[in-house]
């Protein structure tokens, strides 16, 4: 969901860096061939992810939720020399598309793909990360946050997508709506954790930026 009208979105897209042709091609293929193409972050958010990654110049990135690979390619644009991006998805139907575009982007040696449940995979990783991007099943966002904090380097940054969840966060979730419940619990966990600084950016469906407070970071 976008909280801005289409005219403003078009203006913003016109006033941010141009979408690379490869990503435009990936966007089109996703919309033509994959269910729920709105899950793809797209031009404006993709350029934001790229900007943040270039600002941080991370050596290591963890992405929870690959989908068709658009966001991974954006995040990889800012990797430091010799850096790696690890991306996890449990949907085999999109794995082939992502892998194909990683090769076309020349990132097959930079991006490491994992197929399976991130809740099982992340605890087995020996790496820690400078940048972690969460964009997977919303029910498990609280679990992903705990895992991410355990794997985050002291000066690292976590970004979580869809944290406004089409405005559903404003209302009490229905008993069977586990996705809204997951997002609401995640948001409460973030704001109530005294060791964290955070900010919710109302870009598209909401992106929360999270880092350790300086006094906590310096103790690590």
Instruction: Return the CATH number at 212.
Output: 3.40.50.150
Query: Which tops the pLDDT comparison, 8 or 128?
Result: 128
**Is pLDDT of 217 > 80?**
no
**138 belongs to a structural domain:** yes
- Tell me how many domains the chain contains: 1
Residues 118-163 have pLDDT tens digits of 999 999 999 999 999 999 999 999 999 999 999 999 999 999 999 9
Q: Is 196 exposed, middle or buried (0-12, 13-18, 19+ CB in 10 A)?
A: middle
For residue 183, the enclosing domain spans 6-217
**131 belongs to a structural domain:** yes
**Is pLDDT of 1 > 90?**
no
**59 belongs to a structural domain:** yes
**1 belongs to a structural domain:** no
**Is pLDDT of 2 > 80?**
no
* 0.85 surpassed by pTM: yes
User: What's the CA gap between 26 and 23, in Å, rounded?
Assistant: 5
Report the pLDDT value the prediction gives residue 129, as an integer from 0 to 100.
Answer: 98
Report the pLDDT value the prediction gives residue 220, as an integer from 0 to 100.
Answer: 62
Report the pLDDT value the prediction gives residue 175, as an integer from 0 to 100.
Answer: 87
**178 belongs to a structural domain:** yes
């Amino acid at each position: 969901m976008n909280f801005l009208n289409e005219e403003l979105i078009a203006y913003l897209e016109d006033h941010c860096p141009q979408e690379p042709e490869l990503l435009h091609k990936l966007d089109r293929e996703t919309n033509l061939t994959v269910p729920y193409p709105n899950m793809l972050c797209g031009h404006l958010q993709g350029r934001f992810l790229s900007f943040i990654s270039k600002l941080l110049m991370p050596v290591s990135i963890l992405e929870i939720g690959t989908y068709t690979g658009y966001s991974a390619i954006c995040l990889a644009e800012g990797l430091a020399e010799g850096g790696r991006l690890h991306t996890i998805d449990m949907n085999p139907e999109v794995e082939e598309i992502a892998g194909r575009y990683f090769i076309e982007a020349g990132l097959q040696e930079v991006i490491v793909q994992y197929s399976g449940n991130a809740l099982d995979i992340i605890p087995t990783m020996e790496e820690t990360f400078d940048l972690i991007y969460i964009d997977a099943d919303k029910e498990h966002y609280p679990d992903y946050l705990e895992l991410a904090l355990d794997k985050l380097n002291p000066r690292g940054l976590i970004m979580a997508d869809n944290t406004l969840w089409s405005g559903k966060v404003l209302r009490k979730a229905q008993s069977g709506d586990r996705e809204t419940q997951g997002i609401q619990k995640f948001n409460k966990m973030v704001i109530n954790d005294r060791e964290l600084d955070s900010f919710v950016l109302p870009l598209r469906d909401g992106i929360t930026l999270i880092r350790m407070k300086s006094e906590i970071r310096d103790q690590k």
